[in-house]
Structure 1
Amino acid sequence: MTRTTAAPATGRWAALAVLSASLLMVVMDMTILNVALPEISSSLQPSAVQLLWMVDAYSLVVAGLLVTVSALGDRWGRKRMLIAGFTVFGVASVAVMWADSPAMVIAVRALLGIGGAMIMPSTLSMIRNLFTDPRERATALGIWAAMAAVGSALGPIVGGLLLEAFSWQAAFLVNVPVMVVAIVAGLLLLPESRDPDPGRWDALGTVLSMGGMVALVYAIKHIATEGLDAQAIAAVLIAGIALTWFVLRCLRRPDPILEVRLFRNTSFTAGTLAALTTSIAMGGVLLLMVQWMQLIEGYSPVQSGLAMLPMAVGAAVVSPLAPALAARIGARTVLAGGLVISALGFLVLWIMPLALPSVAAGTVLIGAGMGSLAIGSAVIMAGAPAAKAGSAAAIEETSYEVGGALGVAVLGSVAAALYRAELPVEAAHPVRESLGGALAVARETGSTALAAQAKAAFTDSLTMTALYGGALMLLAAAIVWYLTPARLDLGASQH
């Protein structure tokens, strides 16, 4: 049984507002950087490697710390961990004022990653403990999931508007007032909860989880950009050895740092698989979609963000309704059905000629499918005892983090191969390397034919990648349907 300070009904929903708002800002911050990168590049002149580390530092730190921080939160107190995360995130955002070199920006991004790793699983595990009624919890998790979807869509819009009026530092400084409010509101509204019997701290398990996850995410990202070289193989081996050792260690200990035995619950596994596959498909296809909008359609960052709003609307509408729908037709139907609906959205992008109407139709379906996956969080949390809420939250967040990296690496690599296959073998390296490189060469040489050929090749690669993303979602839907019990009742969770 988890020790929790009781929260009255109104207090629970007020606390949810704090948790959801903080999640909104963290997710927005992830996507705002993509908009700010061009201005950061022109201002600080980073090398290609430094630019890559600006992007990757955040996800590497988050991936490495999620398991450890979640276990620490179970022991130290989830409220304390969340408030500390708000503080770290706010301090990192202020520190950008002194970031006058690429190395400093990388350091700020790493510090933001520490704060993000403290915030994201803490919000989930606190919802698990705040809302003891499973149906209320499912609704709360639906709202939480909606905030995540809205945040990812709002990031480019807010970032673009800020950068039109201010310098690139504004993309970071916007976090500061929100974190100050979150700290005050969190101290006043959030009850404390922790595992009363956490057992001994596993120092070796901590090292193995951090080293293994960082090596895994690094390997995925390195393979996506540099291919399978000696460095990537070494990282894969380190990740494989460390994570295998870590899992075996967790299975043997009575008080593991991560409760991997949760996967014995088939519905928990189904919810985790839904999170992972959604993140893979989204990470790969939407990255290509933003490039298509800006490099082929000529959209500004703000216009690109606005063009993705149908997805946020679909998710925001469906997420809070998903629990009631699950109560009526069954959690299995909603969970697997959400994957099918998102798959249909990807298939629309493959079948219909790419234009604003087809993109809007496809993304609203993707968003609606994602919204119904709010049930995935409810299923994951229902499958975990309250004392192990931190482990459940860490597993779900790790699924999203690794899924996003896999999506960019695997589907991104597939898209790159499809793009190169439509270009002449004798084309210059920059032309075959990326659409941006091809358009730059076309401008220098005045070749409109090259520009048209590169744009057509990229568009074809995007639509085919959408097909693969949709097929992956359909496969996942079938597995999730098989794994999730037909009569799974979110009103009968474990305690």
Structure 2
Amino acid sequence: MITHAHKPERSIPPPHPKRWAGLAVLSVSLLIVVMDMTILNVALPAITADVRPDSVQLLWIVDVYSLVLSGLLVTASAVGDRWGRKRTLLTGFAIFGLVSLGVLLAASPAHIIALRALLGIGGAMIMPSTLSMIRTLFTDPGERATALGVWAAMAAVGSALGPILGGLLLEFFTWQSAFLVNVPIMVAAIVAGVLLLPESKNPNPGRWDALGALLSIAGMTALVYAIKQFGKEGLADPGALISLAVAAAALGWFIARCLHRPDPLLDVRLFKGPAFSAGTIAALSTSIAMAAMLLLIAQWMQLVEGYSALETGVRLLPTAVGAGVMSPLAPRLADRFGARAVLAGGLLVSGIGFLVVFAVPTPPGYLAVAVALLLIGSGMGALAIASAVIMSGAPPEKAGSAAAIEETSYELGGTFGVAVLGSVAAAIYRDRLPVPDLAEHGLHGPAAEAARESLAGAMEAARSLGPAASRLVGEAQDAFSASLGLFGLVGALIMLLAAAAVWLLTPRTLDLSAGHH
């Protein structure tokens, strides 16, 4: 169970002298990778106007980054354990920077999709490496909890800063700047990484499991694809069902291999620890809610309230403020009130934020939305200790596996959130815009379908209607606002269920300052 403070820990090496500078490099690199998931939320209208992707291509531009990233996380972290985490991280930086530069040659939707996929490869090499290197840089459990709090704050703030940075860049430059901003940062990260970060790897990694790597890539990619398809096409979509079956078979086989090998690619036995499972549930549910919330609120601000990309980004700031204030406080709150209270309490606070979105009359005013965003961000900040809880449940040589599981839960959560909660909102929106009503406005066939597909589609279709356009746009905006309200209720239920699960699973006596237990 818990390693008590009086029990000597002979195996603890001395702290790394450049650990805090190293943490700064790891945190900034994570910030960029996370921002890349949401920076396109505000750039999509400009990309659409320039390269004219069809609706399928547009979805792939958004989705392929997380699809590739989540598919490769397990394999990339296993490569880091064997090849060296610093080497893997620096390679990820180089890929991320070079691919971002490639946007200058992108002239079609297919080019942008390919670039986003390659960025996913770089991101998969960066994300788990940052987390597992913190585990090896910070040997003191108290310092490690603080460092992991900073790391989690960057993950939370990054997703909120993405739209702000995107809006700022689009105010002055073309949409390509959303990619090019990565280049100088990655160059600086490579230089700083070479100078400041130590190399670390699993001293006894065992034989490389090539089949296991293929199964994890196929299974994770198929699972994320299935979730996205169910969100778009409904639960009866044959493509999604086939993809889900492939995911179940591949991941089932992968888990069986991991359980029966002495040197598994991913140590799924870590889930035997209730604290580890609780931290993973917290990470998963938080990112489910956060990803969907940011996507829908960003659309609502631009398409219903009429804010520019930059104005939208600035109005999303309460999330980053809440997370930024609470993240550094979380380890101290955990010392005082216990990790269980802070972990479950964070989910509860986020749940209340979602309830605010549901409870206010539609359309909601910005003040109510700002309060909701502040509460959700604060709840996420309290969850900064989720990383510490997860990593406290893993010995140092299993840092890669623990990091991969946490990163995978964040990635899956983000994808699941956009797909499932996004599709709940989309279903309500479609229900409020029936085909006969659109026919009355003069919209038929593909134009009517586009209007029911999204609010952006409705506004595009309305351009052909002349004087009648404003009535259709008003109805579509009302439908979208109504969908946002009900989405708040679903998000709140997810958060409250997760809070209950985390409260039951987290050991009451868990002490993050006591190290590995």
Query: Where do residues 326-345 of structure 1 align in structure 2 (5 Å cutoff)?
Result: 326-345=334-353
In structure 2, the residue matched to 1:69 is: 76
Contact 1:314 1:367 in 2 (8 A): yes
TM-score by length of 1: 0.96
- Within 2, Cα distance between the matches of 1:105 and 1:458? 28
Matched, 1:422 2:425: no
Matched, 1:455 2:477: yes
Select the residue among 219, 226, 241 that pairs with 2:226: 219
Matched positions, count: 493
Matched, 1:238 2:246: yes
In structure 2, the residue matched to 1:60 is: 67
In structure 1, the residue matched to 2:56 is: 49
- Within 2, Cα distance between the matches of 1:359 and 1:420? 23
Contact 1:62 1:113 in 2 (8 A): yes
Q: Unaligned 5+ residue runs, structure 2?
A: 1-8, 439-447
- Post-superposition CA distance 1:260-303 (Å, at most 9, x none): 00000001000000111111122223321111111110011111
- Within 1, Cα distance between the matches of 2:173 and 2:295? 25
In structure 2, the residue matched to 1:476 is: 498
Deviation of 1:425 after TM superposition, in Å, equals 4.8
Structure 1 residues 326, 408: closer, same or farther in 2, change over 3 A?
A: same
Contact 1:5 1:192 in 2 (8 A): no
Query: Where do residues 23-172 of structure 1 align in structure 2 (5 Å cutoff)?
Result: 23-172=30-179
Moved more, 86-95 or 154-163: 154-163
Q: Unaligned 5+ residue runs, structure 1?
A: none
- Post-superposition CA distance 1:206-257 (Å, at most 9, x none): 1100000011111111222233322111111100100011111111111100
- Within 2, Cα distance between the matches of 1:96 and 1:449? 39
- Post-superposition CA distance 1:25-73 (Å, at most 9, x none): 1122222222222222222222322222221221111011100010110
In structure 1, the residue matched to 2:184 is: 177
Matched, 1:377 2:387: yes
Contact 2:142 2:514 in 1 (8 A): no
SS across alignment from 1:193: coil
- Within 1, Cα distance between the matches of 2:472 and 2:106? 39
Select the residue among 416, 426, 431 that pairs with 1:406: 416
Moved more, 219-228 or 421-430: 421-430
- Within 2, Cα distance between the matches of 1:449 and 1:95? 43
Deviation of 1:493 after TM superposition, in Å, equals 2.6
One-letter code aligned to 1:409? A
TM-score by length of 2: 0.92
In structure 2, the residue matched to 1:323 is: 331
- Within 1, Cα distance between the matches of 2:303 and 2:483? 14
Contact 2:145 2:513 in 1 (8 A): no
- Post-superposition CA distance 1:376-433 (Å, at most 9, x none): 0100000011101111111111111111111111111211222223334523433332
Aligned-pair identity (%):
65
Contact 1:198 1:255 in 2 (8 A): yes
Query: Where do residues 181-330 of structure 1 align in structure 2 (5 Å cutoff)?
Result: 181-227=188-234, 228-330=236-338
Deviation of 1:348 after TM superposition, in Å, equals 1.0
Moved more, 17-26 or 151-160: 151-160
RMSD: 1.8
In structure 1, the residue matched to 2:3 is: none
Moved more, 216-225 or 184-193: 216-225
SS across alignment from 2:348: helix
Deviation of 1:442 after TM superposition, in Å, equals 4.0
Deviation of 1:77 after TM superposition, in Å, equals 0.8
Deviation of 1:167 after TM superposition, in Å, equals 2.3
Deviation of 1:317 after TM superposition, in Å, equals 0.6
- Within 1, Cα distance between the matches of 2:120 and 2:14? 31
Query: Where do residues 354-365 of structure 1 align in structure 2 (5 Å cutoff)?
Result: 354-365=364-375
One-letter code aligned to 1:400? Y
One-letter code aligned to 1:258? L
In structure 2, the residue matched to 1:391 is: 401
Structure 1 residues 169, 449: closer, same or farther in 2, change over 3 A?
A: closer
- Within 1, Cα distance between the matches of 2:56 and 2:462? 25
One-letter code aligned to 2:298? V
- Within 1, Cα distance between the matches of 2:346 and 2:307? 30
